[in-house]
Amino acid sequence: MAEASIKIVFQLGQGQGGQDGGISVKERRSHAARIGRLSSTQAAGSTVNKNQPSKHTVRYPAPRTQALYRLCVRKPNYASSSSSGSKSNASDSSSSSDEERQLTPPPVVLNGNSDPFAMLPIIITPLVNQCLTFMREALYPSIYYNSFFRRLYGSSHGPINVLQDSTWLPAQTARQDWGTAASSLTSEGQAMACIASFLGNMAPLMPEAGRLKIRREALIYTTKSSQLLRRSLDKLPNAGSKSVLLRDPSLITHVFWLFRAAVFSENKSSVAVHGKVLAQSIMQGFNEGFVDHLMIIQAINADCDDATKFMRRTHFDPDWYRTIIQPIWAMAEYILPPIPETAYVNINSTIEIPELREIFTNSLHQAAYCEDGMQVPHEAWGPLEQRQLAFAWFVTQSEYTMSKLLQIYFDLQGGNYVPYQTGAQQAPTPGQRLTQIGLALGLLYYVRVLGHETKINGQDIRDSSPEIIKHLRSTMQQVSVVATEDEKQHYREAHAWVYFLGAFEEERKGIPPTSTWFQRRLAEHVNVSREKSWNTSSSWIGYRRIFRTFLYTDWAYPSGFAWFDRIVTMYTMPVS
């Protein structure tokens, strides 16, 4: 959030190292025993007179580390779910360990180290307390308080307060995400993986010394969580088989949190292992009816974050995702406020792959709602249910766009045939193929910048730009070598847009003039196009009109109006 900075102070008690704040097996067993004795005592006490003290009452000392922070989460309605849950619990008892079974809530709210994880034996150390506060008050609000959603829904409310702001839809969504994350934790292993993933989110914002301690602590939680998962898997009936499919929702949730922890700790090997299991299990679980859309959306969001940051295919098949999310799109598009089709249907003819053209059209459609003169009033979004449905349309369209663009990029890069036109039989030339690769990468970069920027204290903690720009530069270097003169002329507008995006990234990151590459290439391209009469104009006004047939928004800072003409005149000599 640009308007207010978040102060994060690393706290670690005197003499309390990474291991000291952990939870030993003995501590977990002691805690579980205390809970069991407390439940037995309360059950027995209900049958005796209130004035008669129970001889079984035992006073236990407070845990050694008190919770400094409690998570405010709406308590689930256990009464309504007890009847339906009893059958599933009975059937799952043979295939799920004690760590993975959904725990029965205690009859009274427990204080101290049990918060915010119900009766799970999780010690809330000062570091964990600070991390939970950071997630609630910084990360979740910042995800939705970006330029796109402020343009879409208005920014009159200012920065989000997830506990108090109940009117602005992104604030409601941030609060729901926070509550969903906490209420989904039904086992000790899930809770530990959740804490590890949250620590991974906070670590990049810390000074180096604090960052190392946080990552070490996150590794401890991840290791313990993985041990509990392995124990649960070993108790499955088919533990000896090679199948990676999980059919227990609790186990799938456990793997999801471990996957998220691996993503934000940048552990590529763990991302690969957990991602494969998670994707296959979720896809099968959705087909069998025990995995819902919310879990899928959250998992694919983490998958896209990692895939765009390290340029890999997503573990989830984008075509499958489109199939299962299509009903939501159909309902949402029926109630979306109308936007003139001229704002998003007239895309550039150099976008030749049909699937890529469709993605560009959808991206232009989404961006149109944020453009000056086309922003709709708050009332136009309809009642809350319709606003939430429209919000889901924006989120899921963006997730599909990213995963599909990565698929197109790697297919084209690997030489896999993608028809350029319906019924096309001839394989594309190198210049054609590389141009379409550049367009796919350019759109991937711009979608991340426009809709997924998450700035805290001026730092985008979900920034995927460096790796995308690296691949984009390599692609355009190849274009300049292999494209024929006719292809350079034919695709001049596409190449100009791609060069512009790279120049935009250099401008927004403050790259010094001596180190720029895209800005020099953009200036050279504009000047050569004018000299060869490929384009009659070299001004920003003329090129802005071209860029809008791909995707361009004036509200993406810094606007091309402020720097385009300057760099075109600054760099006039060809570069090698």
Name the residue with higher pLDDT: 266 or 244: 266
Q: Above 80 in pLDDT, residue 428?
A: yes
Q: Is 459 helix (H, G, I), strand (E, B) or coil?
A: strand
- Give strand ranges (E) for 75-232: none
What stretch of H or E contains 320? helix 318-335
Quick one: pLDDT at residue 173? Answer: 83
At 172 the pLDDT is 80
The string of pLDDT tens digits covering residues 258-309 is: 999 999 999 999 999 999 999 999 999 999 999 999 999 999 999 999 999 9
pLDDT score recorded for residue 164: 65
- Rounded distance between C-alpha atoms, residue 192 and residue 196, angstroms: 6
Peptide bond into 377 cis (omega under 30): no
pLDDT in tens, 358-389: 999 999 999 999 988 888 888 888 898 898 89
The residues, any chain, with a CB within 8 Å of residue 222's CB and separated by 6 or more, are 192, 193, 196, 258, 261, 262, 265, 270
Over range 52-64, report the average pLDDT.
Answer: 38
Q: What is the pLDDT of residue 170?
A: 79
Q: How confident is the model at residue 114 (pLDDT cuts 50, 70, 90)?
A: very low
pLDDT at 32 over 70: no
Average pLDDT taken over every residue of the chain: 80
- The pLDDT confidence band at residue 163, using thresholds 50, 70 and 90, is low
Three-state secondary-structure class, residue 460: strand
The answer to pTM > 0.85 is no
| Per-residue confidence band for 419, with pLDDT thresholds at 50, 70 and 90 | low
User: Does residue 342 register a pLDDT over 90?
Assistant: no
Label residue 23 by pLDDT band (50, 70, 90): very low
176: Cα separation from own chain's centroid? 15
> Which of 48 and 234 is assigned the larger pLDDT?
234
Q: How confident is the model at residue 178 (pLDDT cuts 50, 70, 90)?
A: confident
Closest CA to 568 of 520, 513, 534, 510: 520
What does the alpha-carbon distance between residue 175 and residue 382 come to, in Å, rounded to a whole number? 20
Instruction: Give helix 492-508 / helix 430-451 axis angle, nearest 10°.
Output: 40
Place of tokens 């799109």: 329
Domain residue spans of the chain: 25-291, 328-570
For residue 243, what pLDDT is reported? Answer: 61
Query: Three-state DSSP class for 229?
Result: helix
Query: CA-to-CA distance for 243 and 394, rounded, in angstroms?
Result: 35
pLDDT band at 104 (very low <50, low <70, confident <90, very high): very low
